Amino acid sequence: MENRQAIKAENLVKTFGKGDSMVEVINGASFQVNKGELVALIAPSGAGKTTLLMMIGCVLEPTSGSIWLGDEKVYENRWLTKETRKIRREKIGFIFQAHYLIPFLTILDNITLVPQTNGISKEESEKNAIALLRYFDIEDKAKSMPSSLSGGQNQRAAIARALANRPQIILADEPTAALDIKRSVDVVKMLKKIAVDQDVAVIMVTHDEAMLPLCDRILKIEDKKVVSHSVSENKETGIL
């Protein structure tokens, strides 16, 4: 049977500071996310959602625990590779609430930047970028600058950029926070379509309860651990 695991965390711990000033943000978080899943990550403000996302994304080093990305164990009480930047470039796509497109590059150049950094030819990078822009119905904006696009179009371009390196995992930190409800729904539906079509795992941090029914599953940080809820459980009990 095919292994569908995209992300696995065991007993993750993250503390900041030392001694009397030490703050424990995550303590013993364990969970798994599979390929093809769109999973919401929720918790009150300051409870460690972004911290957890950045540990999974090999940006922030945990204090202890284990992390697998696909079949590869990348962390066990220390990074098991010195190439965390390479892992981020090749395996992970990041999406944020602000699009962070480079303002002096065209949309096409924004999307091709990382693939070309990874050694993909300009021709192949642009071909893939145009296909992504067509997928998001903004192919006509390829030569435009970010300043000439609407907020929703820029966010679609940012999602296309996150997909440009053909990642196994997409980590989205409140990607709908700056959008109205209609555009927010459109973005989350896009993320769900991407998860299925591209067979990637998507973790989306959100405060917006209206987005939860569009997700496959909900992860909630409770008592500094991670608890998995089904979407139906949220409808029945309300977990925000």
Q: What is the pLDDT of residues 196-208, one digit of tens each?
A: 998 999 999 998 8
Q: Is the model's pLDDT at 52 over the cut of 60?
A: yes
The 3-class SS string of the chain reads CCCCEEEEEEEEEEEECCHHHCEEEEEEEEEEEECCCEEEEECCCCCCHHHHHHHHCCCCCCCEEEEEECCEEEEECCECCCCHHHHHHHHEEEEECCCCCCCCCCHHHHHHHHHHHCCCCHHHHHHHHHHHHHHCCCHHHCCCCHHHCCHHHHHHHHHHHHHCCCCCEEEEECCCCCCCHHHHHHHHHHHHHHHHHHCCEEEEECCCHHHHHHCCEEEEEECCEEEEEEHHHHHHHCCC
Phi-psi label, residue 90: left if phi above 0, alpha if psi -120 to 50, beta otherwise: alpha
Specify the pTM: 0.87
Q: Would you state the pLDDT for residue 66? A: 96
pLDDT at 39 > cutoff 90: yes
pLDDT of residue 203: 96
Confidence of residue 240 (pLDDT cuts 50, 70, 90): very low
Q: Is the confidence at residue 183, as pLDDT, over 60?
A: yes
Q: Please determine, for residue 238, whether its predicted confidence score (pLDDT) is greater than 70.
A: no
The Cα 65–Cα 77 span in angstroms is 5
| pLDDT of residue 63 exceeding 70 | yes
With beta carbons less than 8 A apart as the criterion, state whether 159 and 165 touch: no
The residue-averaged pLDDT of 154-168 equals 89
5-237 belongs to which CATH class?
alpha beta
pLDDT of residue 77: 94
Q: What is the pLDDT of residues 115-147, one digit of tens each?
A: 888 888 999 999 999 999 998 889 999 999 999
By the 8 A CB rule, do 52 and 226 touch?
yes
Residue 148: predicted pLDDT: 95
Q: What does the pLDDT read at residue 235?
A: 54
Q: Would you tell me the crossing angle of helices 151-163 and 122-135 to the nearest 10 degrees?
A: 130
What CA–CA distance (Å, rounded) separates 185 from 9? 29
The residue with tokens 């089904």 is 230
Nearest to 206 by CA among 54, 40, 26, 25: 40
- Asked if pLDDT for residue 109 goes beyond 90, the answer is yes
Give pLDDT, residue 151.
84
More confident residue, 235 or 149: 149
- Extents of the domains making up the chain: 5-237
Averaged pLDDT of the chain = 89
